[in-house]
Amino acid sequence: MTDYFSLSLSRREVDAISNLGLAHMGDGVYELLCRAYLCAQGDKTARRLHDDSVSLVKAPAQARFAQAILPLLTEEEADFLRRGKNTHTHAAPKSATAQEYALATGLETLFGALFLLGRTGRLNELFAAGMEAGHGV
């Protein structure tokens, strides 16, 4: 049976996935990390968890998060972020500018690629760095 929590695809397999496919994966990974971060903070009501989660995963917040971790990225990681950022999406949400939405999509693409490559340790490092840079709730 495949362990979908511990995938380790090859770089070639990940490169074969579309930018939006990687962003789709990364959206879920980023949200799961945010939810785990919030739960680890201690006792919060379900409403507070929901509201805090929403504030962390909105495109403007993700764009600020991406800016914070950009200096920490390897060349390969920066390429994944750029790949997602340059993806032509149909429309940005009303709560974000086109630039914020593009950068958020880049962040999701990076997180999706790292997860699928099995680099969860690196995901945790980058996530912690972004939260420590003041992007937590």
**Tokens encoding 52:** 């805090």
Q: Write down the residue that tokens 């504030």 correspond to.
A: 55
| Cβ within 8 Å of residue 57, ≥6 positions away | 27, 30, 31, 34
Catalytic site residue from 15, 27, 51, 79: 27
Q: Is 52 a known active-site residue? A: no
Alpha-carbon distance of 127 to 17, in angstroms, equals: 23
Angle at 69 between CA 114 and CA 57, to 5 degrees: 75
**Residues involved in catalysis:** 27
